[in-house]
Amino acid sequence: MFFPHFATGGDYRSILTLVNPWPVPASVVVEFFGQDGNPLNPPVNGGALAPYSQAARATASWRIGNTLIPLQVGWCRVTTNRFMSGSLMYQLFNGSELLSEASVLPSEKMKRFVMAVPNSEA
């Protein structure tokens, strides 16, 4: 699954939440990429997010980066051996005051995208 946007550093922080609804553990790999497609390694809960096994019927959350690092924006790829869901919330701060937040839902990789466009001549 893909999360099309995250922001961290500067005045931003992101929180990634993943849900495993299955009665068995799931193998999970989380990767972050910049807008140019190059890998990013923002701090996750103060360290690094290594591949891991998510417990059965469990929810896990991680704080991506912090407001002390330079701004990083991009997208996130989550690879699992089972269907999982989740959200990626990014937050805007003014010092320690939370100003706003928005969540991004995951999407699957698409080979083709079709969009209807109104015909102004009709």
Higher-pLDDT residue of 50 and 70 is 70
Does the residue 113 lie in any domain? no
* Domains identified in the chain, total number: 1
Q: Are the CB atoms for 112 and 32 separated by under 8 Å?
A: no
- pLDDT for 69 equals 85
Q: Say if 120 falls within a structural domain.
A: no
Domain assignment present for residue 119? The answer is: no
| pLDDT number for residue 77 | 93
CATH of the domain at 25: 2.60.290
Range of the domain at 77: 2-104
Give the pLDDT score at 112.
66
The least confident of 58-67, 72-81, 109-118 is 109-118
Q: What SS3 class is residue 28?
A: strand
**Which pLDDT score is estimated for 37?**
92
- Domain membership of residue 35 (yes or no) is yes
Rg (CA), the chain: 16
Element (H, E) at 39: strand 39-40
Query: Has residue 88 been placed in a domain?
Result: yes
Q: Which two tokens stand for residue 93?
A: 């701060």
**Model pTM score:** 0.83
Residue 111 pLDDT level (bands cut at 50, 70, 90): low
pLDDT tens column, 20-48 = 999 999 999 999 999 999 999 888 887 77
pLDDT tens digit sequence for 85-96:
999 998 999 988
> Looking at the domain assignment, is residue 90 inside a domain?
yes
Distance CA 73, CA 25 (A): 30
DSSP-derived secondary structure letter, 70: P
Q: DSSP letter string over 74-119?
A: EEEEEEESS--EEEEEEEEEETTEEEEEEEE--B---S--------
pLDDT 10s digits, 10-22:
999 999 999 999 9
